[in-house]
Amino acid sequence: MRLMHTKLPDFIRRIREASVKNTPDMKLEIKGMENVQSAKLQSLRTGRIVNAVEEMAVSEGVDHMEILIRPRMPETMHTVIIKGYDKDGKAKKAIVETVDMLVPTEELDLFDCEEVIDRRPKMTVYSKI
Amino acid sequence: MAQLKYKLLPENSAGGILPLNVAIVDYADIQQCGLTMPQACQIVADNVDGPTAINIMDLTAVTTTSDGIMVPSAIRAMAASDRGKIHPEFGYIPMAEIEHSEALIQKEPHLRQWDINYPGRRLFRGPDVADKPVPVHNVVITGRACNNNSGTEMMHLVTMGEILMPYIGQHVIASGEGKLLTGMSGEHLSVGIGMTTAEKFGRVFSTYRYRAGDTAHGSGAQAKTLKRDIPCIVASKATHAGFVIAALKAGMVPGRDIGCSPVNLAIARAMHLPIDYDNITPRAWLELESVGFSREYLETPVPKLTEAEVLEHADEILPGVDNPQLHTIDELVQTCWAEVKA
């Protein structure tokens, strides 16, 4: 069944398959999803990413690949749960806090590239509509 | 061919305390070159390699410091650049113009200084929330460069170094009048930064949050440690005192109209001017007491000083900045010129 949103394991699998579809020896490293246990990802975007991975794999001079998944927003607000367990592993208590995190934008990963093709649609500031 | 002038504090300069480049461009020079503000920021980005915080300053405008002191200039826009790039979504933002009205001055009593000291000037502080793609801080980020709190707190997001450049010091750089202090921010400045006034589109907060007499930090004895060990570039204490005295002479009362920062309180105390002790919240008192500014200390009689005496002894009267070093502007700031391509 086709879903509007793709399951995380399918997202990873499809990227890996795309990298070796036409280039069986292609080495691929995915960075940035290490702590994501479960997620649904946009299916249309997943298809575009899969196509881009295939395209990159057959690009002239490409020997190996990285997929870097970074927050699009460079400042994000996070919930922090401080959780205590008893000796039997039963959760006793939680304190919930918040923290804002500022991270570099994608330029940091792009400075060393000879060519950058940016296919992202512009973000919409909804208050401007 | 036209040349755009900008002032540059290079990365690692000022005794190594600058974690990134800081560039200040005069709005009048941008107009003279026939440029828009984003174009001017891009020209600076093209000419300064590495992470850079860029502020455009208008010496014909007026702004407020976070503790409510009005100063005759304003940041009109801020940007962050890195290796010639300004992020198209997060790298640039203009500041909002705040229209003069009686209703506004009723809500923000510290703006009574506007008509008294700086009549007719256009007021700018922070950005319009509708312009903010980042919904949290008043911040711009490109690559490693981060320019935060409407251009007064800059960070390098890889080395994670940080510098505070409170507004009056930037006014000194842009105007070319006065001297600068470098050092560690220290406990009094750390507490004082939290003693804000409530403002629409303020430098730090976009909506009416923490009124004069309250604290935005709300962290008791910890507030003094928040910024204590962060390097800063500020105006000399005499220059800073001059602007605070102008506010006090306009009838501003610390704790009621302007923030109850240690600097505002210290000058009001020295000049025997009113302080609204009863309007200072218990949680603000906790922070003030942690740096020795208890009500008992503030009410202890001291000799009354004139304006001239406060300016002469500003280094002893105004608290803040550890291991301060006094510099001329030229010792810290380079004047640079960038080619404006047709």
What gap in Å lies between CA B144 and CA B158, rounded to an integer? Answer: 6
| pLDDT on residue B135 | 79
pLDDT at A65 over 80: yes
| pLDDT on residue A41 | 96
In the predicted model, residues of chain B with pLDDT beneath 50 are none
Supply B79's token pair: 């940007």
The C-alpha of A32 sits at a distance from chain B's nearest C-alpha, in angstroms, of 17
For chain B, report the end-to-end CA distance as a whole number of angstroms: 8
Amino acid letter, A7: K
Q: Which residues of A touch B139 (CB under 8 A)?
A: 75, 102
| pLDDT on residue A110 | 95
| pLDDT on residue A125 | 62
**Contact status of A75 with chain B (Cβ, < 8 Å):** yes
A81 Rama class: left (phi>0) / alpha (psi -120 to 50) / beta: beta
Q: Which residues of A touch B129 (CB under 8 A)?
A: 127
| pLDDT on residue A67 | 97
| pLDDT on residue B136 | 84
Supply B104's token pair: 């506004």
The DSSP call for residue B62 is B
Amino acid letter, B160: M
| pLDDT on residue B132 | 86
Mean pLDDT of A47-65: 97
**Chain B residues interacting with chain A (CB cutoff of 8 angstroms):** 82-83, 85, 87-91, 129-134, 136-137, 139, 141-144, 146, 148, 155, 157-158
Model confidence pLDDT, tens digit, residues A113-127: 999 999 998 876 665
pLDDT at A129 over 90: no
The C-alpha of B90 sits at a distance from chain A's nearest C-alpha, in angstroms, of 8
Mean pLDDT of A26-54: 96
